[in-house]
Structure 1
Amino acid sequence: MFTFLSGRPCLDLTTTLQVRHREPVETLRTPHDARDWIEQAGLAERVAVDDAGLVRLRELREVIHRLARAALTAAPSDPADVRRLNEVAAHPPTVPCLADGTVRHRGDLDQALSTLARDAIDLLAGPQACRVRECAHPDCSRLFLDVSHAGRRRWCGMAACGNKSKSAAYRRRVRGGTDR
């Protein structure tokens, strides 16, 4: 099972390589993992993914990560990354279908990748680009979209990283530290 806390599918994709700033943990290790992530993300069902498809998904993940980090730090985007994102987005996206009162998406790997690239373009070229954040917990490198009213969210989620950070700060205060 994958975790989807980032607020956008394109940012959730970037978190499939975890703890980037220390010892990275790859969660998309096999084509089966890639297919499962695409399905769990709600992008498409039963997508065929081979070794080359796994590489393409990982490459798109890294392009989106670099572009999102550039937005986060207000740095210029690498033109090669922008070009690659646009190339992937040029394919048709997945197709929504109504099934039993719910929406399901159908398509192949190219369509799923296009849908992710289009989501990244929409985010990074839109008004929410300045709301991309990186989790403040030292063991987390998740990028997320801060949709809080004040725009000061620090953690990817309170249930995990926020709670760990607040608990650690409390323990330091109780031991006599000065974390206020």
Structure 2
Amino acid sequence: MSGRLPMVVGLTIVWVLLWGAVTPTIVVGGVLAALLVVAVFPFPQAPWTWVIRPWPTLVLAVRFLWDLLRASVEVSWFAIRPSGAPASALLRIDLRSRSELIMTITSELVCLVPGSLLVELVPEEGAIYLHVLDAESPERIEQFRRSVLAQEERVVKAFAPRAERDAVCGQGVA
């Protein structure tokens, strides 16, 4: 139960916020509802082993913000340019990491940037399927594929355990 305590507390807080008042009845009702939800819908305990490396995390954040700004300008241009929207494509990109946490973080960071949308994440195969807005040429598609793999590498350098980091990024990564 100790592992589920944060979930019960969090669900109780959401319950109280939804009711908009703090009374003993609402709090007790929230605790009971949270216990019921945790008992009926147990979350699997994921073996998440990860670290936070400050410098690679800063690099990841700065690069994400740069990609966000650049892509926002590009997508805005696509919306107002006279020739209309560019060709789009559905791409399968095979990631090198097999950690579901790393794959999820990578997928979220990629699809939060305008111009791409996560369609499916297949952790068993290590693949993500993305809808890409700017796919006018094979070069643009390859450039996008490389940018996703570079994002994965930044995520791995920032958060993955040493063994996985070395496997994905090569030996001797600082």
| TM-score, with structure 2 as normaliser | 0.25
User: Greater Rg, structure 1 or structure 2?
Assistant: 2
Structure (1/2) with the larger helix percentage: 2
| TM-score, with structure 1 as normaliser | 0.24
